[in-house]
Amino acid sequence: MLIELKISTKLREDLIDITDLVLEKIEQSGIKDGIAVIFVPHTTAAILINENSDPMVKKDILEYYKRNVPLDYNYYHVEGNSDAHIKSTLIGNNLTLIIENSKVILGSWQGIFFCEFDGPRIRKVYIKIIPG
Ligand code: ZN
């Protein structure tokens, strides 16, 4: 079972909370126990799990990557978005979620964020559910 999500990002860089959307799609699948692999098929975007209770956490994460991987640097890649490729690589393009008793296991403070580093764009996220 493969689910495709479309996400319209609004800014060049943003962390977008997609927790509710992802959980809704997985729960709609009717799978009671198994694994959901979340995959981002882009080279300038990423996906992560972190706190979605205090919005300042997302701000601190974005600032951290901005500070450590600047937009302007003497990069070799001439497209002008090397910072976005590097940020995508550092965070990663997939997550594995555990589905147990029809629920996705997440810590009480955890949320799933789509990471945009070269927006705004229309992006895709795939969810592959493996019963087991
Ligand atoms: Zn590029």
What's the Cα-to-Cα distance from 7 to each of 4, 41, 68, 121, rounded to whole Å? 10, 12, 26, 8
CA of 118 to the centre of ligand 1 (A): 9
What is the distance in A from the centroid of ligand 1 to the CA of 69?
14
Q: From ligand 1's centre to the CA of 92, what distance in Å?
A: 16
The whole-number average pLDDT for the span 25-54 is 97
Instruction: Compute, in angstroms, the gap from residue 7 CA to the centroid of ligand 1.
Output: 20
Q: What is the pLDDT of residues 63-118, one digit of tens each?
A: 999 999 999 999 999 999 999 999 999 999 999 999 999 999 999 999 999 999 99
Whole-number average pLDDT of the chain: 97
pLDDT at 1: 84
